[in-house]
Amino acid sequence: MASFGSRVWSRLEKTCRYIPIVVNTVLVFSITAEVSYLVVVEAPRDPVQQKGESSAVWKSVHLFCQYFMLGNITWNATLFLRTSPSIRGVFLGGEGVGQGWRYCYTCETHTPPRCSHCYDCNVCVLRRDHHCVFFGQCVGFRNYRYFLSCLLFMWAGLLYAVVMNAEVFIVILKEGVTLHSVMLLLVPWIMLVSGQVSARAVAFAFIADTCVVGFLLVSAFLFFHVALMLRGQTTREWYSSRRPYSLGLLANVRECLGQHWYLCWLCPLLPSPLPGDGIHFLITGPLEPAGGPARR
Ligand SMILES: [Zn+2]
Ligand SMILES: [Zn+2]
C-alpha cells in the first residue's frame, strides 16, 4: 500500500502537469482580449475616423480574424489533448514483430518501429515525436496534425498581436530610450510595485512583452517541426541523425496531415484520414545512424 507521502506527491505531480495548460490558456485569452481592446477602443487614433463607416468594417474584419485564430488554437489544442497517441486500445499484431520492433519492459509488450515509451505519460506512444510540456501530453502519430495546426495559428496570432502592439511600444518609447521606458518594457512588475507607473501601463507592457517573447519561441518551434515534417523525421530521429522513413516531400506531409493536407489546417473539423496506421512504415534508409546504434 502506498504511503501517505507518496500519495500526496503523486497528486501534487498530477496537479502540476495542468499548470502549463492553465498558464497558456490565460495568456492566449489575455492577449486576445488586449488586442480586441486595441482594435475596438483605441484604433484608429484619429477621433473623426473612429466614427466613420470604414472604421466599423475595418474593426469587424480585424475581430473576425482574431476570433478565427483563437477558435483554431483552442479547438486544435482540445482535439490534441483528447486524441491519445498511445498504444492503449490499439491492436499491434503479433505477427509484425521484426525489423524496428522492440520490447518495452514497462508496458510488457512488443512495440512497432518509431514507437517509444514516455516516462511522463507512462505509456508507449505510436510514432512518438516528443513529450510536450506545454500541453502535458505526448505528440505522436494520431495527434500530430492538431499539434502542427495549433502551432501555426499560435504563430499567426502572435505575429498579428506583435504588429497590433507596435503602438504600445511607440507610446512607451515616445519619451525616448530612457531608464524609465526601458525598465517598463523589461521589468514592468517592478515598476508597478515601486509605484512608478499605473497598473494599466504595466498590463499593456507585460502583454506586449509576452507577445514578442512568445512569437520568437513559437516561430522556432513551428519552423523546426515544419522542417521535420518535410523531412519525414521525428525529433528523436533528428537527434540521432536518421531519416529511415522519409517518403519524399509530398508523401511526408501527407503522412503527418492526412489525405486532405492542403485544406485540413484551415479547420480542425475538416476530415483528413492518415494514410498509415502508425504501426507499419516503409523503410527507405538505414535504421541505425552511421556512427553506431541509435539511442533509446
Ligand atoms: Zn512502454
Ligand atoms: Zn508523454
Q: Tens digits of per-residue pLDDT, 17-51?
A: 788 889 989 999 999 999 998 888 876 666 666 66
Is residue 107 annotated as a catalytic residue, yes or no? no
| Residues 95-104: tens digit of each pLDDT | 657 778 889 9
Lowest mean pLDDT: which of 75-79, 166-170, 221-225? Answer: 166-170
Å from CA of 242 to ligand 1 middle:
22
Cα–Cα dist 228/232, whole Å: 6
What pLDDT is stored for residue 276 in this prediction? Answer: 86
Query: Quick one: which of 229, 242, 222 has its CA closest to 283?
Result: 242
Confirm whether 95 is domain-assigned.
Answer: yes
From the candidates 115, 118, 124, 132, which is the catalytic residue? Answer: 132
Query: Does the residue 281 lie in any domain?
Result: no
Q: Which listed ligand is nearest to 104 at the C-alpha?
A: 1
Residue 137 in any domain: the answer is yes
**231 Cα to the center of ligand 1, angstroms:** 26
Residues within 5 Å of ion ligand 2, judged at the Cβ atom: 118, 120-121, 131, 138
Q: Which domain holds residue 32?
A: 4-264
What predicted TM-score, i.e. pTM, was given to this entire model?
0.85
Ligand nearest to the CA of 119: 2
- 207 Cβ contact list (under 8 Å, min separation 6): 30, 31, 34, 161, 165
Residue carrying C-alpha cell 520568437: 216
Asked if 86 contacts 140 with a C-beta cutoff of 8 angstroms, the reply is: yes
Mean pLDDT of 202-207: 84
pLDDT at 85 over 90: yes
Give the Å distance between the CA of 53 and the centre of ligand 1.
61
Contact (CB, 8 A) for 128 and 118: yes
- Which ligand does the CA of 88 lie closest to? 1
User: What's the 102 CA to ligand 1 centre distance in angstroms?
Assistant: 10
Q: For 93-127, what is each residue's pLDDT tens digit?
A: 766 577 788 899 999 999 999 999 999 899 999 99
Please name which ligand lies nearest the alpha carbon of 111: 1
**pLDDT value at 294 more than 60:** no
The three cell numbers of residue 215 are: 512569437
Instruction: Give the pLDDT band (50/70/90) at residue 73.
Output: very high
Count up the domains in the chain and report the number.
1
Is 63 within a domain?
yes
User: What spacing in Å lies between the alpha carbon of 120 and ligand 1's midpoint?
Assistant: 11
- Give me ligand 1 centre to Cα 114, in Å: 12
140 CA to centre of ligand 1 in angstroms: 14
Residue 233 lies in a domain: yes
Residue 275 lies in a domain: no
Residue 293 lies in a domain: no
Question: What percentage of the chain reaches a pLDDT higher than 70?
Answer: 90
Query: Does residue 283 belong to any structural domain of this protein?
Result: no
- Around ion ligand 1, residues with a beta carbon closer than 5 Å are 104, 106-107, 117, 124
